[in-house]
Amino acid sequence: MSKVWFVGAGPGDPELITLKAQKLIAQADAILYAGSLVSSAATQWAKPSCVIQDSKGMTLEEITDWLILHAVEAATVIRLQTGDPGLYGALVEMVQPLDKAGIAVGVVPGVTSAMASAAAAVETLTLPEVTQTVIFSRVEGRTPMPEGESLTELGQHHCTLCLYLSITLLKKVREDLLAAGWQDESAIVVVYKASWPNEQQIIHGTLATIKEQCKQAGINSQAMIIISPALGARQWTELKKSKLYDAQFSHRFRKAIKTQE
């Protein structure tokens, strides 16, 4: 029986593809990859007979038609997507026509660009008693935001925010976050092409400076914006340590060391 797999290719570095994805790519008869964001290196494991096509320039309907056509002829068909297919990946829009055509579907998760960006900058997205929550979102541009999800509303949590698809909207990011109570001095990091060998750029700035810094660096696409009260914690001298590693804290695998009062 043929099956169409929606496979997360990770953020760019081919070594950040999962083993499962790599095995499926090696076995695939047809691969349609999102060439604007997925490195062609991700298809390096494909067998010589595999049909490989870049979907750059194709409409959603053309993409699903292609997947259906190849699924009828071949056993393993892959739609290779950037990061994780479940984040801004039009997954459901592509799965529905396949469901209608009676074609089996599977999804392989991938390393999303927010995680690759945090890793590149050696930043933690959660820090004890600073923030314990991460929001993955975007700023309203051409795609309207559902009620209650404007950046001004989300920003009021003062937790970590990872903003996808918003690098051309830094003016609005600043305005919305100032309205949510953040400061012009609040730290912000932009990571361009996180994990792409030789192309990655990390820009450290503040709400006030980041737009100009990105302009100077020529960054206007494929970038992640991270705003967090935990940014820069690597340099802090006082940290609340995670309880998990605290000698006074018992858990399933370790008894607390008793200290004398």
If binding is defined by CB under 6 A, does position 12 make contact with ligand SAH?
yes
If binding is defined by CB under 6 A, does position 222 make contact with ligand SAH?
yes
Nearer to ligand SAH, 87 or 95 (CB): 87
Is the distance from CB of 227 to CB of 188 less than 8 angstroms?
yes
Q: How is the chain split among helix, strand and coil, in percent rounded to 5?
A: 30, 20, 45
Closest CA to 225 of 113, 128, 140, 126: 113
Q: Which of 43, 55, 112, 228 binds ligand SAH (CB under 6 A)?
A: 112
Question: What DSSP element (H or E) covers 32?
Answer: strand 30-33
What is the smallest separation between the CB atom of 47 and ligand SAH, expressed in angstroms? 26
**Of 187-216, which residues contact ligand SAH (CB under 6 A)?**
191, 193-196
Termini Cα distance of the chain = 68
Separation in Å, CA 15 to CA 36, 39, 113: 19, 11, 14
Nearer to ligand SAH, 29 or 123 (CB): 123
Q: Which of 88, 90, 172, 206 binds ligand SAH (CB under 6 A)?
A: 88
Nearer to ligand SAH, 194 or 214 (CB): 194
Q: Which residues bind ligand SAH (CB under 6 A)?
A: 11-12, 37, 82-84, 87-89, 112-113, 116-117, 164-165, 191, 193-196, 222-224
